[in-house]
Homo-oligomer: A and B are copies of this chain.
C-alpha cells in the first residue's frame, strides 16, 4: 500500500458500466520528506476521504475487496482508498535525512 494526499476529484460520464456511482479521487503519493511530488493515482473511495486528507491506498484485488466485498471480481478498478490516516509515528533517527 502507499500513502497519499487527496488533491482532487475526477468525473467521468462515459465509463465502464461496473463503475457507476463510484467516487474517484486524485491521489498524490507522498514520501518520507512529506513533500508531494507530481505523480498522481486515481483511486476509488467509499470511506468519504476529503481533499487535503492523508490516506492509505491499495492496488489490485485489495482495492476491489475494499470497494465491493460482496463481489470484488466484477469491478474494473485497481486502486482504492482503504484507510484515512489519523497519525503517523516516524521516530526522527529513522528518517533518511539524519
* Chain A interface, DSSP helix/strand/loop, else mixed: mixed
Asked whether, in the complex, the Cβ of A40 is within 8 Å of the Cβ of B47, the reply is no
* A21 interfacial contact with B, CB 8 Å: no
Query: How many copies of this chain are found per oligomer?
Result: 5
Asked whether, in the complex, the Cβ of B47 is within 8 Å of the Cβ of A75, the reply is no
Q: How far is the CA of A78 from the CA of B66 in the complex (A)?
A: 11
Nearest Cβ on chain B to A61's Cβ, whole angstroms: 7
Which one of B31, B74, B88 lies within 8 Å of A65 (CB-CB)?
B74
Which one of B31, B47, B78, B80 lies within 8 Å of A61 (CB-CB)?
B78
Asked whether, in the complex, the Cβ of A11 is within 8 Å of the Cβ of B86, the reply is yes
Q: Note all chain B residues with C-beta closer than 8 A to A78.
A: 1, 58-63
